[in-house]
């Protein structure tokens, strides 16, 4: 089985061809960093226009790299949401057109499910497992029990981890995207010089909060004399911010593991996925927790943590095997929770 996957939910235009035995024949990604860097963040209209301009070429490159033709495909999978709706529409309409023209099954994939199932592509793990999904727009802890079967244990009550990294970088005058920039600066810093809070650490539950941490970074910067924020200070603040995030993540994941094991005593795998999963400090913290609990820890390769189409193609394969195809009247979705039954996140008005 061979599937073309398409991903356009945010600021990467991507296409990939993947087989049902887990072989990635191609995985082409075009980043829009140059278009959005002057604004310090993603501009939805610019992103949508860039997808329109690039997608046909990216698909052609992916098919050429894979050495395959449309006649050899078994289905078309595309991110149907959640995401910036303009970009999602571009991908969905393109996938529908190919599916209709070639009379192929059409699969609308939840972008988050793509991240959730990546470890099955890379490591062939079995259900169930505990997933930490961390990206620019999402921070969630979920029990993955099967394709389409997710139980959310915790989520952010305000900002996502990735947003915290981006905003911290912007306040410190670092490059966009913020995650890599903060991590690079942190390598030269002292994590104890500018103490920052660990929001919700030690409290019950598995939810996250990062707005207070972001505010504390701003307050710390404002306390420095005007124009006197030296490169060493920036590195120290980044090191402390990253350490605070890793501490909070470790605490929340430890709570989630208790709940996971109570529901699935034989469950023995912790997975991290999403763009922020590329952060070395977070990976190290999770690896240490997994070792202490004598469970397996899986973090996909960096290029499969950030947005990509290989994960969408693989999720499409998983769904096609179960007969979970979609009709061509599928409507793109700006929001699409993995666990629709999960309660709303608690009120965000908590102190750090």
Give the CATH number of the domain where residue 297 resides. Answer: 3.30.420.40
pLDDT at 226: 64
Residue 292: Cβ-neighbour burial (10 angstroms; 0-12, 13-18, 19+)? exposed
Please count the CA atoms within 13 angstroms of the CA of 348 that sit on its side-chain side.
Answer: 11
Residues 44 and 175 in one domain: no
Q: Give residue-wise pLDDT tens across range 130-160.
A: 999 998 789 999 999 999 999 999 999 999 9
Label residue 297 exposed, middle or buried (CB < 10 Å: 0-12, 13-18, 19+).
Answer: middle
pLDDT band of 10, cuts 50, 70, 90: very high
Residue 349 resides in a domain: no
Residue 182: pLDDT over 90? yes
Shared domain check, 239 and 172: yes
Say yes or no: 274 and 158 in one domain.
yes
- 47 and 11 in contact (C-beta within 8 Å)? yes
User: Do 75 and 190 sit in the same domain of this protein?
Assistant: no
Evaluate if residue 335 carries a pLDDT over 70: yes
Structural domains of the chain, count? 2
Say which residue the tokens 């009550």 belong to. Answer: 157
* Enclosing domain of residue 106: 2-117+307-321
- Whether 352 is in a domain gets the answer no
Residue 348 has pLDDT above 70, yes or no: no
- pLDDT for the residue 137: 85
d(CA 193, CA 160): 25
- For the beta sheet containing 106-110, the strands, ordered from the edge strand earlier in sequence to the opposite edge, are 24-31, 12-19, 2-7, 75-81, 106-110
227-243 mean pLDDT: 92
Asked if pLDDT for residue 95 goes beyond 60, the answer is yes
**Confidence at 171, pLDDT banded by 50, 70, 90:** very high
Average pLDDT over all residues of the chain: 94
Whether residues 157 and 286 fall in one domain? yes
């Amino acid at each position: 089985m061979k599937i073309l996957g398409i991903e356009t939910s945010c600021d990467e235009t991507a296409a990939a061809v993947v087989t049902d035995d887990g072989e990635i024949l191609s995985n082409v990604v075009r980043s829009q960093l140059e278009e959005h860097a002057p604004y310090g963040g993603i501009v939805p209209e610019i992103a949508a226009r860039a997808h329109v301009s690039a997608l046909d070429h990216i698909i052609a490159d992916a098919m050429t790299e894979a050495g395959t033709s449309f006649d050899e495909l078994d289905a078309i999978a595309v991110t149907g949401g959640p995401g910036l709706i303009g970009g999602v529409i571009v991908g969905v309409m393109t996938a529908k057109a190919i599916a209709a023209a070639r009379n192929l099954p059409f699969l609308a994939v939840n972008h988050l499910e793509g991240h959730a199932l990546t470890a099955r592509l890379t490591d062939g793990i079995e259900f169930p497992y505990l997933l930490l999904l961390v990206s620019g727009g999402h921070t969630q802890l979920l029990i993955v029990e099967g394709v389409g079967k997710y139980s959310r244990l915790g989520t952010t009550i305000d900002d996502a981890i990735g947003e915290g990294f981006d905003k911290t970088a912007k306040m410190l005058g670092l490059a966009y995207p913020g995650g890599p920039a903060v991590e690079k600066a942190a390598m030269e810093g002292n994590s104890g010089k500018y103490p920052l809070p660990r929001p919700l650490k030690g409290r019950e539950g598995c939810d996250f909060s990062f707005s207070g941490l972001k505010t504390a970074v701003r307050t710390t910067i404002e306390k420095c004399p005007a124009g006197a924020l030296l490169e060493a200070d920036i590195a120290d603040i980044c090191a402390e911010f990253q350490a605070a995030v890793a501490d909070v993540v470790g605490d929340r994941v430890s709570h989630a593991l208790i709940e996971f094991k109570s529901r699935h005593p034989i469950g023995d795998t912790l997975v991290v996925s999403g763009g922020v999963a590329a952060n070395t400090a977070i990976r190290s913290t999770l690896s240490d927790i997994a070792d202490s609990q004598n469970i397996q820890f899986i973090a996909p390769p960096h290029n499969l943590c950030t947005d990509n189409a290989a994960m969408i193609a693989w999720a499409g394969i998983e769904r096609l095997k179960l007969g979970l195809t979609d009709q061509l009247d599928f409507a793109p979705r700006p929001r699409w929770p993995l666990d629709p039954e999960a309660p709303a996140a608690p009120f965000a008005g908590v102190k750090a």
